[in-house]
């Protein structure tokens, strides 16, 4: 086959293919993408279950999403991340359980649960342990 003939055949095939693609109705397109959508939703639901069970989040994750805004720079007098001078007096005074209780209930400018709406009390403890790690 000569090149020019081959090109004509290829162009014709492309034209037919493009015309067919355009004939796909919205319903057909929706049908084709539906299974993917289902898989995605199922995945998101599964993730939600794990988070609700409290298994998926580490103290580091919680700190970075809920506590970092205040505890990194010490906003409003918040004890700063892994700064012993900020944390030690509090730990000496009331221990880990005492500061944990205050984090759950809130104390002064420290909001209850550190504003983490979907954290369990154990999640809060994990975040505190991360904040005082190595001090
Ligand atoms: C809006 C700012 C803010 C956010 C967000 C925040 N904190 Fe605090 N936090 C504070 C401030 C301010 C204090 C100091 C309160 C005081 O002793 O007067 C504090 C104190 C604490 C203390 C010490 C309590 C005590 O008894 O001395 C713990 C523990 C604590 N926060 C944990 C957390 C955790 C865990 C998170 C995230 C889940 C969090 N905080 C999020 C502002 C914040």
Same domain assignment for residues 36 and 92: no
Residue 80 makes CB contacts below 8 A (sequence gap 6+) with 71, 72, 73, 74, 86
Same domain assignment for residues 45 and 72: no
Closest C-alpha to ligand 1, atom 8: 110
Same domain assignment for residues 73 and 122: yes
pLDDT (tens digit, 9 = 90+) per residue, 64-110? 999 999 999 999 999 999 999 999 999 999 999 999 999 999 999 99
Closest C-alpha to ligand 1, atom 28: 103
Tell me, using a 6 A CB cutoff, whether residue 74 lines ligand 1. no
What phi and psi values does residue 10 have, to the nearest 5 degrees?
-65, -45
CATH number of 102's domain:
1.10.760.10
Tell me, using a 6 A CB cutoff, whether residue 128 lines ligand 1. yes
What phi and psi values does residue 110 have, to the nearest 5 degrees?
-85, 115
Task: State the residue range of the domain holding 11.
Answer: 3-53
> Taking the CA of residue 117 as centre, how many other CA atoms within 13 Å lie in the half-sphere pointing to its CB?
0
**Closest by CA position to 120, among listed 57, 49, 72, 46:** 57
Same domain assignment for residues 119 and 76: yes
Ligand 1 atom having least distance to the Cα of 90: 27
- Compute the distance from residue 16 Cα to the ligand 1 centre, in Å: 66
Pinpoint the alpha helices (H) of the chain.
3-23, 26-53, 59-62, 68-71, 84-105, 121-131
Residue 86 makes CB contacts below 8 A (sequence gap 6+) with 74, 79, 80
Same domain assignment for residues 101 and 66: yes
- Compute the distance from residue 76 Cα to the ligand 1 centre, in Å: 9
Same domain assignment for residues 108 and 68: yes
Same domain assignment for residues 45 and 75: no
Ligand 1 atom having least distance to the Cα of 128: 35
Residue 44 makes CB contacts below 8 A (sequence gap 6+) with none
- Compute the distance from residue 128 Cα to the ligand 1 centre, in Å: 9
pLDDT (tens digit, 9 = 90+) per residue, 32-51? 655 554 444 444 444 444 44
Same domain assignment for residues 66 and 118: yes
Q: Which of 54, 114, 121, 123 to mutate to test the pocket of ligand 1 (most atoms within 8 A of CB)?
A: 114
Same domain assignment for residues 41 and 82: no
Same domain assignment for residues 77 and 110: yes
Same domain assignment for residues 31 and 65: no
- In this prediction, residue 99 carries a pLDDT of 98
Q: How many domains does the chain have?
A: 2
Same domain assignment for residues 127 and 68: yes
- In this prediction, residue 75 carries a pLDDT of 97
């Amino acid at each position: 086959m000569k090149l020019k003939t081959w090109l004509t055949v290829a162009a014709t095939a492309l034209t037919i293919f493009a015309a067919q693609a355009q004939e796909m109705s919205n319903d057909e397109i929706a049908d084709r993408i539906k299974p993917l959508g289902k898989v995605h939703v199922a995945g998101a639901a599964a993730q939600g279950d794990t988070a609700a069970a409290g298994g998926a989040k580490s103290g580091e994750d919680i700190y970075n999403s809920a506590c970092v805004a205040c505890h990194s720079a010490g906003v409003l007098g918040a004890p700063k991340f892994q700064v012993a001078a900020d944390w030690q007096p509090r730990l000496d005074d009331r221990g880990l359980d005492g500061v944990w209780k205050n984090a759950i209930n809130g104390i002064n400018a420290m909001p209850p649960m550190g504003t983490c709406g979907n954290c369990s009390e154990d999640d809060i403890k994990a975040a505190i342990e991360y904040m005082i790690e190595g001090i």
